[in-house]
Amino acid sequence: MGGRGARDHAAGHKEGGSGTAGAGAGQREREQEREQEREQEREQEREGVSVDGKCLRGSRKQGAPGTHLLSAVSQRLGLTLAQEAVDD
């Protein structure tokens, strides 16, 4: 009773009609699409950077002109990204 149906079912697997090989490829494609979407989201994220200028206290008292520093700070990391001495 199940002989012919089993043969037809097995033939479908070999021909890719309802086999798992096609399903595996489809799953890989969906995973690749999801990874591409995540990559696009990461590229679209913007990181906040604060810029602040300071005049160092006491620098004029020691005979040097007032020293001014400009700093860039990452809001996410809470770290100074760059700091540069600048002219008045």
Residues 40 and 53 in one domain: no
Residues 35 and 62 in one domain: no
Token pair in block for residue 35: 């990874």
Question: How do residues 5-33 score in pLDDT, each as one tens digit?
Answer: 555 555 555 444 455 556 688 899 999 99
Residues 11 and 38 in one domain: yes
Domain hosting 22: range is 3-44
What average pLDDT does this structure show over 62-85? 86
Question: What are the percentages of helix, strand and coil residues in the chain, rounded to 5?
Answer: 45, 25, 35
Residues 39 and 8 in one domain: yes
Residues 9 and 34 in one domain: yes
Residues 38 and 63 in one domain: no
Largest CA distance in the chain: 105
Residues 23 and 37 in one domain: yes
pTM summary value: 0.43
Residues 15 and 32 in one domain: yes
Residues 29 and 56 in one domain: no
**What single-letter amino acid sits at 64?**
A
